[in-house]
Structure 1
């Protein structure tokens, strides 16, 4: 399959997007993809949305699959529908910039590279230095994530761990371990930019809660060992605070993120707690998305050009 973009024909790739009540961001996500990627099939794996997510997906002619299982199973089911050798995973709250795919596809022929991802720009109106610390850490060290990835279909379907464990978070780390165990490589191109649309201050509190729940389900270690996670977050927060010269990050990592993780792991009033955190996450969604995209793109272009590079992780 070929697609005509920017005066030339490009090989099409399928795109898989996971959704659940994603109406506030999905349209921006799809428009960004169509402006960057030579799309073959647009595949939506939906976790039983109750808002207008499905209506938006249908507007763009997407193939919609319903899956109420964990995120690992959802990604696997999406990959089963893919018809191309390589395909893209893009999260429903990610906006990929126009040159995103062009930058990533350069590395498809590299030996043993099966997973290529771009750089996620984070933002926060509540805690700007926290968002900056995340973006700078991604740019300097790389980050394993399926939120914006060009990946080989075969390697996704070979990995069965995220199906057996029905994980709700951390599926990218599971796939990464599998990829490395097979002797393959993962590459991060920090010139392939995308923007994470939610405010990361709220979003990460909810993300750590889901990570705690996922770790409880997986139980790879003795439960008492997971009590050390807040200490690991303390260490990360300390180094991030030095990176951006803001000691408040240490407290945020240890108290807010650490507590959220432990709430998830303990599963205290899990259904009620998750609903509250999900609503808080939605509060961080900007209503001026187009302005946000333009502002963050300009900031990266003017301030962080020196961090553009290729990282093997």
Structure 2
């Protein structure tokens, strides 16, 4: 076992997470590579006409023998359903919380593997799925294949900053064995999701942390792959702010327990790592998106601080 590795430098395998590398031997036999299992893409939607076409087109273009697309819509008022019908007839409706929509998708899935994706995910090349599915064979306890998410090439500065910061956080968590791995936009063995009782229908934001914790509790392993997905989210500071206030309502109620992090660790990730990333990004990489970091982190602190104070008054 390697102590505190730089995950991009050499392979890494411990009792919880494996960092994918050609140098690591695949010792498992979960997947029959001569008879690849069906993959069910379960995608909740709600007024996503701006992103759903690219998402579904990238799935349909995969060089993979058996794929189904399942849409669970929350009663969209735009052209989301019209677009989705070009790619699948498996369209269901669930106007409940996000966790409820995801669980509906899992229940409708017929694949051995479920891909619990957002509607703004874009798969970058047509061999991605085949390569990702093979990663289940790293170990017989692997139940999750968790890809890196990055901004799309045509994404704006906010989404680039978001994922620049997120990459720092994820790599630091892996090196220091902190927090949870294998949340949303990942591949899962369907039987593992069923084994933990499915997705919690009562959680709207952070439902992926909930199932990641349950999978960890059962001693299942996660493979982190650095063949990334494009995540076309956070197109503007306005959208970023709105999502932060929504997320804050969940996390302040749980005391950040869903993330399995202490308040100090949250501060370290958001402020210490963020400032280090900003200095490196501006001075070394000349990445101008980092100029937005002071505004970005101020919005996040305001959202969580305000929501926490309101919650304290209501108690």
Instruction: Please confirm whether the aligned pair reaches a TM-score higher than 0.5, indicating the same fold.
Output: yes
Matched, 1:35 2:72: no
1:124 to 156, 169, 172: 156
2:274 to 240, 248, 260: 240
Residue aligning to 1:4: none
Counterparts of 1:180 and 1:248, CA distance in 2: 37
Report 1:292-311 matches (<5 A). none
Residue aligning to 2:194: 157
Q: Which has the higher helix share?
A: 1
Matched, 1:260 2:303: yes
Counterparts of 1:61 and 1:154, CA distance in 2: 24
2:294 to 244, 248, 251: 251
Counterparts of 1:45 and 1:265, CA distance in 2: 32
Q: 1 or 2 for the larger relative contact order (CA 8 Å, sep ≥6)? A: 2
Question: What do you get for the CA RMSD once the two structures are aligned?
Answer: 3.3
Residue aligning to 1:53: 80
Matched, 1:106 2:138: no
The unaligned stretches of length 5 or more in structure 1 are 1-7, 222-227, 269-313
Report 1:75-94 matches (<5 A). 75-94=102-121
Residue aligning to 1:195: 230
Return 151-160 or 93-102, whichever deviates more.
151-160
Return 111-120 or 58-67, whichever deviates more.
58-67
Counterparts of 2:268 and 2:172, CA distance in 1: 20
TM-score normalised by length of structure 1: 0.69
Describe the SS at the equivalent of 2:62: coil
Cα separation, partners in 2 of 1:234 and 1:251, compared to 1, 3 Å: farther
Cα separation, partners in 2 of 1:181 and 1:242, compared to 1, 3 Å: same
The unaligned stretches of length 5 or more in structure 2 are 1-33, 175-179, 283-289
Counterparts of 1:133 and 1:183, CA distance in 2: 28
Return 176-185 or 128-137, whichever deviates more.
128-137
Cα separation, partners in 2 of 1:183 and 1:128, compared to 1, 3 Å: closer
Residue aligning to 1:26: 52
Return 73-82 or 232-241, whichever deviates more.
232-241
Residue aligning to 1:179: 215
Cα separation, partners in 2 of 1:254 and 1:61, compared to 1, 3 Å: closer
Cα separation, partners in 2 of 1:212 and 1:128, compared to 1, 3 Å: closer
Residue aligning to 2:20: none
CA shift, 1:137, in A, is 4.0
Cα separation, partners in 2 of 1:140 and 1:153, compared to 1, 3 Å: same
Counterparts of 2:292 and 2:67, CA distance in 1: 42
Instruction: Kindly tell me the number of residue pairs found equivalent between the two proteins.
Output: 254
